[in-house]
Amino acid sequence: MAANPMYQFNVYRIGPEIKIGEIDLSFTNASLFMVISSLAILIIFNLGAQKKNIIPDKIQLLSELSYTFVSKMISDTAGSKAKPYFSFIFSLFMFVLFCNMFGMIPYSFTVTSHIIVTFVLAAFIFIGVTIIGFIKHGFGYLKLFVPSGVPAVLLPLIVVIEIISYLSRPISLSVRLFANMMAGHTMMKVFGGFVVSLGIVGGWLPLSFSVALTGLEILVAFLQAYVFAILTCIYLNDALNLHH
């Protein structure tokens, strides 16, 4: 069973079956890693926030650097108007990052390798951004679909394309993260399987590949979290500062 590279993505129940009506809300391995990631974030940042040294120590520096990193990312992409959404984007970035990183531990579970999780996050962002846009600009937000400086002949086509691209945002956002995580972990599993099947004679090549892939995957884990957060910022920017 373990040779199947998709086996690692299986979700299974941990503990008792929890059912409300017909809905299954059981605690699964996915839930476990969501809890672990959240707790890790909370513990690390709580430790970092409790110290008030002028010259920070390691954990304080970690949390403060993360804070300024996300803060700078938001102000660079979405401007100063996006400040009220800082907490959300920070939580989002950290949650995705920690889920990705915990997924890199062997025999662990990658929460973000499930389309439903990333899609719920992306859909929440999409709906939230749309609501913010309509609150800030009213029906003027629809101008987002009408770029300025486009010849009138092309306008109907452009508007349709803009609407499709806008509506596909949650899908592209969620599939990007999900597919990256799934593909990377599948590759690693496949190469790991090669190491076993080729044994001590031929296993060295896939093993070195595996090592290299691990490094690459850690990079991807960070990069995808960053991309997820920065795309959220860009969408937020569209809603806050209507550029079109």
Cβ at position 120, least distance to another protein in Å = 5
Site residue total, another protein (CB under 8 A): 60
Among 2, 120, 135, 211, binds another protein (CB under 8 A): 120
DSSP state of 114: S
Region near another protein per CB under 8 A, out of 88-96, 149-157, 163-171, 211-219: 88-96
Under rule CB under 8 A, residue 182 binds another protein: yes
Under rule CB under 8 A, residue 3 binds another protein: yes
The CA angle 202-205-206, to the nearest 5 degrees, is 95
CB neighbours of 126 closer than 8 A, spacing ≥ 6?
Answer: 169, 170, 173, 235
The CA angle 100-101-106, to the nearest 5 degrees, is 105
Under rule CB under 8 A, residue 25 binds another protein: yes
Cβ at position 195, least distance to another protein in Å = 11
Comparing CB distances to another protein, the nearer of 21 and 149 is 21
Distance of CA 19 to the CA centre of its chain: 28
Region near another protein per CB under 8 A, out of 58-66, 73-81, 135-143, 216-224: 58-66
Closest CA to 129 of 18, 236, 241: 236
Among 61, 69, 81, 91, binds another protein (CB under 8 A): 91
CB neighbours of 233 closer than 8 A, spacing ≥ 6?
Answer: 73, 74, 77, 78, 82, 89
Cα(170)–Cα(147) distance, rounded to whole angstroms?
21
Under rule CB under 8 A, residue 177 binds another protein: no
Under rule CB under 8 A, residue 132 binds another protein: no
Among 87, 165, 172, 241, binds another protein (CB under 8 A): 87
- CB atoms under 10 Å from CB of 236, counted, come to 24
Region near another protein per CB under 8 A, out of 62-70, 126-134, 166-174, 225-233: 62-70
Which ranges of the chain would DSSP assign to H, the alpha helix? 29-50, 58-78, 86-103, 115-137, 155-167, 169-202, 204-240
Beta bridge partners of 24: 19
Residues 36-55 that bind another protein (CB under 8 A): 37-38, 41-42, 45-46, 48-52, 54
Give the interface with another protein as residue ranges (CB under 8 A): 3-7, 9-11, 23-28, 30-31, 34-35, 37-38, 41-42, 45-46, 48-52, 54, 60, 63-64, 67-68, 86-88, 90-91, 94-95, 111, 113-117, 120-121, 178, 182, 190, 193-194, 197-198, 202, 205-206
